[in-house]
């Protein structure tokens, strides 16, 4: 058991075991007083006293776990306003409260308030307690615009799907700030369903849609406990930022809301995502590093991304790498998670044109449980998004490699249970001129959904459909299967083309 985060009035703790998200019920005792039972590996305790010492015990199946901590020494400043209720815009009042906060204070927002875009500042602790709510404005004409022709800290300010573009500021926006914590049991409701954000969503009207929380070139940011929902586009978008923590949050959007990813770190370093529940209208977590212009200008991969004890539900992918990955993606670890009713589980997507800086390497997924995931493992170098025009990026024949050719290194999937699979277990499609170097699956258990319908394992130009297949593999240098067990037989175990080496051990 170890501490993830301490604030003036809360602590977040994580059990260390091999369970996925949930564990056997255990009792939590704080300074000798029982706080009842818990069942999640990662949990938070609230309503603590600032600058106070505590001893925490967890009575688990493995014995008594104990640790001591002291909450942060900050004085509370409470924000209340005549505009409480969420019907009138209170952006100015809220922003003034943030800006005027002393360094030895933390700000508690008490009540329900409506706002457009709040800008963070250095050394800020913002507390959203249970019952508090920030509600997003829906009139796009009153939003600030982050411009594509302006830079902050050497990085373009306005961005959209891996390119420079004018975009609206988000309900919570951080630009170049450090040492910020937003925590509590409150709700940030961007209220997109009440406006036209999801209508004709690919059309740019004034600027691109805002995110829920946007962090631009920020450092040492912690988000804990809060629920962020109904976001116009991506729920969380950290951009060229580092040393980030996302702890025990709820990121929620309707399943039919368009391109509302959960958490998309783009060209970020040292990101911890622990105990987060995500249920959205697109990929739950999508690690990105921009398209080719960003890669050539900034040379910044996404790196050292750790995802643990998370629950992903109903999205297009559980954990996705790409497709905007021109800067490269490296050192990604996903462990102790549950994927439930996502279209795909562990999903890597790229295409020609991403560039030879788009090196994807040192990617490891371990101890995952998937239930009703249609296609658990997908690596697709011919990814075709819905708005992509058909061109030579999607020609299946060999093309001479050049500086626009992406590179695919080693991928390892280990200790994973896949129940109620519909389409197939693994879809691994490299480029003929840039094959997937090595794909290893170890200790994988598979069962198929009896009443499954056929469908696309990956988004390609050919829209091939499958049902109950094992592995569809093309342009792979080495495919290694160790202890891959099928509880019921696949309709076809292998569909292979241009595989240099296939090894299988039971």
SS3 of residue 97 by DSSP: helix
Distance (Å, whole) CA 268 – CA 289: 8
For the chain, how many residues are written?
506
Backbone angles phi, psi at 137, to 5 degrees: -70, 150
Q: Are 477 and 500 in contact (CB under 8 A)?
A: yes
- DSSP structure string for 284-343: SEEEB-B-HHHHHHH---EEEEEEES-EEESSSEEEEE-SSBTT-EEEEEEEEEEEES-S
SS3 of residue 448 by DSSP: strand
Distance (Å, whole) CA 478 – CA 496: 12
The two three-digit tokens of residue 164, written as one number: 């420079």
b/e sequence 159-177, b meaning 16+ C-beta within 10 Å: bbbbbbbbbbbbbbbbbbb
Residues in a beta bridge with 106: 76
Which residues are known catalytic residues?
Answer: 282, 316
- Apex 387 CA angle, 194 and 199, nearest 5: 15
- Apex 36 CA angle, 35 and 42, nearest 5: 85
Q: If you ran DSSP here, which 8-state letter would residue 185 be given? A: S
Q: Are 223 and 282 in contact (CB under 8 A)?
A: no
Q: Tell me the C-alpha to C-alpha distance, in Å, between residue 241 and each of 9, 203, 257, 301, 476.
A: 26, 28, 27, 11, 34
The two three-digit tokens of residue 253, written as one number: 């959007």
CA 480 to chain centroid, in Å, comes to 28
Nearest to 146 by CA among 121, 166, 123, 120: 166
Contacts of 139 (CB under 8 A, 6+ apart): 195
Distance (Å, whole) CA 15 – CA 70: 19
Distance (Å, whole) CA 364 – CA 50: 39
């Amino acid at each position: 058991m170890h501490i993830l985060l301490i604030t003036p009035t809360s602590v977040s703790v994580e059990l260390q075991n091999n369970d996925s998200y949930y564990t056997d019920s255990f009792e939590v005792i704080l300074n000798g007083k029982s706080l009842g039972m818990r069942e999640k590996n990662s949990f938070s305790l609230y309503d603590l006293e600032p600058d106070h010492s505590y001893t925490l015990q967890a009575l688990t199946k493995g014995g008594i776990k104990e640790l001591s901590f002291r909450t942060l020494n900050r004085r509370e400043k409470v924000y209340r306003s005549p505009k409480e209720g969420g019907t009138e815009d209170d952006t100015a009042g809220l922003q003034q409260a943030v800006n005027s906060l002393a360094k030895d204070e933390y700000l508690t927002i008490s009540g329900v308030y409506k706002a457009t875009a709040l800008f963070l500042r250095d050394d800020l602790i913002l507390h959203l307690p249970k019952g508090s709510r920030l509600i997003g404005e829906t009139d796009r004409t009153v939003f600030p615009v982050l411009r594509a022709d302006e830079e902050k800290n050497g990085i373009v300010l306005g961005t959209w799907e891996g390119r420079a573009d004018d975009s609206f500021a988000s309900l919570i926006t951080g630009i170049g700030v450090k040492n910020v914590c937003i925590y509590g049991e409150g709700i940030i409701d961007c209220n997109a369903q009440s406006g036209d954000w999801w209508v004709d969503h690919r059309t740019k009207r004034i600027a691109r849609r805002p995110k829920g929380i946007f962090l631009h070139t920020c450092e040492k940011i912690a988000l804990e406990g809060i629920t962020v929902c109904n976001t116009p586009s991506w729920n969380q978008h950290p951009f060229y930022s580092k040393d980030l923590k996302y702890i025990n949050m709820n990121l929620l959007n309707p399943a039919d809301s368009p391109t509302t990813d959960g958490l998309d770190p783009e060209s970020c370093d040292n990101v911890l995502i622990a105990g987060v529940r995500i249920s959205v209208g697109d990929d739950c977590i999508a690690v990105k590093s921009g398209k080719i212009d960003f890669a050539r200008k900034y040379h910044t991969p996404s790196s050292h991304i750790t995802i643990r004890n998370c629950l992903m539900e109903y999205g297009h992918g559980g954990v996705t790498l790409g497709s905007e990955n021109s800067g490269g993606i490296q050192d990604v670890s996903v462990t102790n998670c549950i994927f439930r009713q996502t279209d795909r589980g562990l999903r890597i997507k790229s295409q020609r044109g991403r560039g030879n800086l788009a090196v994807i390497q040192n990617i490891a997924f371990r101890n995952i449980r998937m239930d009703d995931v249609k296609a658990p493992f997908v690596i697709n170098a011919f990814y075709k998004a819905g708005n992509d025009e058909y061109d030579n990026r999607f020609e299946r024949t060999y093309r001479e490699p050049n500086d626009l050719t992406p590179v695919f290194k080693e991928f390892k999937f280990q200790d994973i249970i896949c129940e109620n699979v519909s389409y197939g277990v693994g879809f691994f499609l490299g480029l003929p001129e840039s094959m997937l170097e090595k794909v290893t699956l170890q200790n994988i258990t598979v069962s198929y959904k009896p009443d499954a319908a056929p469908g696309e394992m990956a988004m390609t130009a050919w829209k091939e459909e499958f049902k109950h297949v094992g592995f569809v593999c093309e342009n792979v240098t080495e495919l290694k299967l160790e202890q891959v067990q099928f509880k019921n037989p696949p309709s076809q175990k292998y569909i292979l083309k241009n595989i240099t080496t296939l090894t299988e051990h039971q």
